[in-house]
Structure 1
């Protein structure tokens, strides 16, 4: 752990708009692995780019998505753990909002059809809009047509994956139908089927996906559906297990750097090196979420322990010990327990010499006025997971959220805690579902190969 303060220029708001388009420029087998490019949603090259927005507006939108996603993730957790639903059952009916944090380009069918789906580590089922469409949202790409592919097979009701999707039913033809809805009222209804799926030039046969005939909600015309990267049985991470060994990783570049981020599967997703730190994945419900154990956080030499407070735990007290926080690529900010956050804020205030000011929007708890000349002197902050101490970059701990105003990007929460993607930038984050651990390797992601 570092013991001295380090200076860092607070990055512009562009830094944190955290949605990526996944496209393949290094596709193919590389020793059994696949690596794809990631494109930030607010890059001028992105199909989601809004030229009329300022950098501050883009960042504000990212923060709003964080709060919306956190609320929906929390609802999902409560539904599953209240006894009113099962891990594989009602979970999909209260999934995260479709906020478009990442877009992923995959290919389905023979011959292959390009699918531009929202990549989500908080969802399991992969689905796309299909013909015939009784009710569909507008999309730029042609709808997937099962009649034009040689490898499309409807899933029967007896297939194990029929029950894995959650809400499913059988029709007169013994075809497995699915229905999923999300926290922002988006939805998809259709049939489960198997198809050939390709990541870049690498094809995987008989992957279960949803062929949606009735879909709607907050989708952009660029998007065609969802790519599920969660930990549940029907996610493509689990379905491709014998090819990728339950491994995927990503390396997110600071978004003021004009270099693509990367996402890898299989052998390319093995995170190694002398500076790798690893923490266990905790198996809890819902299995879709990636639970870690947060033990504390340090500001310089001041280490603050995570202390269980049953009175404040509420419906979240089951996560007070092991598996008390989730790591999520779709949430921008990091949400900490109230008591731990209060200690963090006090420790930061003690060492910061800049003028503290209030956030006029009331979003952030701790903000400072940026000096006309010079930089904020930001202390080193280390997040302590079980077995893994990860120092987050100074550039990610404070952001210029409005002109001349820099705010701490950790926030308090009364219940449900999330380690967000901002604090994962310039870290190679590897998920190993076989060893049941997450590996962190501080990396200059702009130079990641």
Structure 2
């Protein structure tokens, strides 16, 4: 049994400085950017009027909405195309510059999507945005992509119709529809995208495939300018970084309280290698859609009791997503896991004041919880109590695993204080226990 200590980690944001370089990114170059907690005082979404329990409830709602979006992406209606991206209620923000000269944008950064897009002039129907809107005419390196170009073929949900003003200019156009019917429509183009880094060395990506959105509406926040896809597809930022990062990126999620403005880190290339004492690795499984990062969950061990995961023989039965708060499991297995945890917890059981989580206890120094280990194929990841019990009120903590009707999702609460490495070339995920406040 382990003594419980709580930590309030919800959604996270990716924030990088703005720099510009005329040179291409160097092969196997390593660089690092900051990850900013969505509810940190450094985040543009920070609301000082909210208490920690309110922030948690909001994060849990976003987490479940995100799970629904993932489910939709596996079975889109033939009449309503779906895309693997989130709205501005997603979990990350990223500052980059687009074009020449550089134009700063702040966009949702999403590990569960691919296309990089932002709102563009002329805005036929754009959602309200506080920051200036990108004007492609102001960039000397901006070029529209033709319908026959390979870049057009790499983007999902594209068409070739009459250009604006009724002229058939052969421009490749994309159309993305969210599960909640939010949407983005516009031109597929290429331009220079520049990332900043904490070591002060800029990373410029000429001819980056982007979407220039002229018709965008729905549940977008006015603090964001669009979306940066970090998934595994061919037009994601990760894939377009290409040889410059050797297919590697990693992050270490800092457990933040409402009073903390510590940042997490996202590393690329040579700085993203996860190794050393305590490191365990599991295969990354290639499946459709290739946007997601799939692993194989074999079991979850509660104390000394191993609970075999149904469908454990199926390779790639779980997605890892740093933008989902809870770890989500099929209902029957979640019920079995929750029962096993409740059987060994030493404490007074109470209700969740927010009526969201189902296994909650009164917080006290006497509360004892079992050790939980996630048994991935070839990698046993031993969690800390703060990874699976969260404080939802001043005196209440709850078990931070939820239900999903489809596939399992490994959420960010289970990931905090681990250095987590993605190696898309060697096809493996690595986990190493770490104090992320010191990374």
Q: Using the alignment, how far apart are the partners of 2:180 and 2:87 within structure 1?
A: 5
The residue number in structure 2 matching 1:312 is: none
The 8 Å contact of residues 16 and 195 in structure 2, kept in 1 or not, is answered as: no
The residue number in structure 1 matching 2:75 is: 78
The 8 Å contact of residues 85 and 114 in structure 2, kept in 1 or not, is answered as: no
The 8 Å contact of residues 27 and 35 in structure 1, kept in 2 or not, is answered as: no
The residue number in structure 2 matching 1:446 is: 437
The alignment partner of 2:425 has SS state of: coil
The alignment partner of 1:198 has SS state of: strand
The residue number in structure 2 matching 1:244 is: 245
Query: What's the offset of the Cα at 1:26?
Result: 11
CA RMSD of aligned residues (A): 2.2
Q: How does 1:358-377 map to 2 (within 5 A)?
A: 358-371=351-364, 374-377=365-368
Q: Deviations over 1:286-311 (max 9, x none)?
A: 11111111000111222211133xxx
The 8 Å contact of residues 252 and 424 in structure 1, kept in 2 or not, is answered as: yes
The residue number in structure 2 matching 1:135 is: 125
Alignment partner of 1:35 is 2:43: no
Q: Using the alignment, how far apart are the partners of 1:134 and 1:350 within structure 2?
A: 58
The alignment partner of 2:369 has SS state of: coil
Q: Using the alignment, how far apart are the partners of 2:236 and 2:124 within structure 1?
A: 26
Q: Using the alignment, how far apart are the partners of 2:98 and 2:86 within structure 1?
A: 24
| Farther off after superposition, 26-35 or 162-171 | 26-35
Q: Deviations over 1:247-275 (max 9, x none)?
A: 11111100125421011111111112132
Q: Of the candidates 95, 98, 105, which is equivalent to residue 95 of structure 2?
A: 105
Q: How does 1:44-443 map to 2 (within 5 A)?
A: 44-79=41-76, 90-92=81-83, 95-170=85-160, 171=162, 172-200=168-196, 201-256=202-257, 258-308=261-311, 321-371=314-364, 374-443=365-434
The 8 Å contact of residues 233 and 290 in structure 2, kept in 1 or not, is answered as: yes
Structure 1 segments unaligned to the other structure (5+ residues): 309-318
Q: Using the alignment, how far apart are the partners of 2:31 and 2:261 within structure 1?
A: 22
The alignment partner of 2:368 has SS state of: coil
Q: Using the alignment, how far apart are the partners of 1:361 and 1:42 within structure 2?
A: 19
Distance 1:47 1:203, change over 3 A: same
Distance 1:412 1:136, change over 3 A: closer
Q: Using the alignment, how far apart are the partners of 2:81 and 2:156 within structure 1?
A: 6
Distance 1:143 1:98, change over 3 A: closer
The 8 Å contact of residues 21 and 104 in structure 1, kept in 2 or not, is answered as: yes
The 8 Å contact of residues 99 and 139 in structure 2, kept in 1 or not, is answered as: yes
The residue number in structure 2 matching 1:314 is: none
Q: Using the alignment, how far apart are the partners of 1:150 and 1:122 within structure 2?
A: 31
Query: What's the offset of the Cα at 1:96?
Result: 4.3
| Farther off after superposition, 134-143 or 381-390 | 134-143
Query: What's the offset of the Cα at 1:49?
Result: 0.9
Structure number with higher helix proportion:
1
Distance 1:212 1:25, change over 3 A: closer
The alignment partner of 1:248 has SS state of: strand
The 8 Å contact of residues 295 and 317 in structure 2, kept in 1 or not, is answered as: yes
Please give the TM-score of this superposition, normalised by the length of structure 1: 0.89
Structure 2 segments unaligned to the other structure (5+ residues): 163-167, 197-201
Distance 1:98 1:284, change over 3 A: farther
Q: Using the alignment, how far apart are the partners of 1:387 and 1:339 within structure 2?
A: 24
The 8 Å contact of residues 14 and 33 in structure 2, kept in 1 or not, is answered as: no
Q: Deviations over 1:335-362 (max 9, x none)?
A: 1233432332232222211011233543
The 8 Å contact of residues 35 and 262 in structure 1, kept in 2 or not, is answered as: yes
Please give the TM-score of this superposition, normalised by the length of structure 2: 0.91
Query: What's the offset of the Cα at 1:365?
Result: 2.1
Deviation >4 Å, runs of 4+: 25-31, 94-98
